Amino acid sequence: MIPESVSSVGLKNTSHKMLKMSDELVINQTRITLIQGDITNQDTDAIVNAANPSLRGGGGVDGAIHRAGGRAILDECTRIVKNQGPLQTGKAVLTTGGNLKARYVIHTVGPVWHGGTQNEAELLTSAYQKSLRLATTHGLSSISFPSISTGAYGYPVQEAATVALRAVALFLKHEPTSLREIIFVLFDSRTYQHYRTALEQLSEMV
């Protein structure tokens, strides 16, 4: 179930500001794009890491980013956890990009799926929007997201895609931002197709 904060309620009456395409959507001069690929190869100002609370790397996207970015990322993550404790679900922090093409990595913790009964949609929305606010605070113009929580955390891709895209759309509609490009980098064709369907449905709602 999608929370009211990411429902169609906040997205109506904005069609004059949106460009509808199959894998792109422009909202208030910021382009959302879907691609299939490897997020560690992105050269956007920042890439987002679907992290765990320890910020020490792991499997999937998290491990791939740490391996590609090198020791500098882990060193900054270690200092952050030492100073403020483990990163809470739905929160975000920023570190160097290390050896990555991206200058920065924004680490956020998505929710573990428990059947949708433990505020998973609200927490996933927060993970995306906190990442966008952090990028805006640092004056970034471009950011790349993976599909947060749909790997080991078990969030169903179809539901996660809808939450993710509506969360981003609402952020762009209601909050000023320096961001001009937001790219969802989906690892496989199945995930990409779910996000493309969700983007088309979002376009039809406005």
Q: What is the CATH number of domain 4-204?
A: 3.40.220.10
Cβ atoms of 74 and 56 closer than 8 Å? yes
Q: What would the pLDDT profile of 32-51 be if each residue is shown by its tens digit?
A: 999 999 999 999 999 999 99
Kindly tell me the burial class for residue 143, based on how many C-beta atoms sit within 10 Å of its own C-beta (0-12, 13-18, 19 or more): buried
- What confidence score (pLDDT) does residue 206 get? 54
What local confidence, expressed as pLDDT, does residue 14 receive? 40
- Burial (CB < 10 A; 0-12, 13-18, 19+), residue 77, is buried
Please enumerate in sequence order all residues whose Cβ is within 8 A of that of 15, keeping only pairs 6 or more positions apart, or say none.
206
Q: Where are the domains of the chain?
A: 4-204
Cα–Cα distance measured from residue 196 to residue 72, given in angstroms and rounded to the nearest whole number: 35
Q: How many CA atoms lie within 13 A of 99 on its CB side?
A: 10
23 is an active site residue: no
CA separation for the pair 179, 53 (Å, rounded): 26
Query: Which residues contact residue 190 at a Cβ distance below 8 angstroms, ignoring those fewer than 6 apart?
Result: 157
The pLDDT of residue 8: 43
Considering the candidates 38, 43, 45, 62, report the single residue annotated as catalytic: 62
**Burial group, residue 72, by CB count within 10 angstroms (0-12, 13-18, 19+):** middle
Those residues of the chain that have pLDDT short of 50 are 1-9, 12-21
- Which two structure tokens, joined as six digits, stand for 100? 């990555």
The pLDDT score that the predictor gives to residue 164 is 98
Q: Which pLDDT does position 170 carry in this prediction?
A: 96
C-alpha distances (whole Å) from 89 to each of 7, 53, 119, 149 are: 21, 7, 11, 11
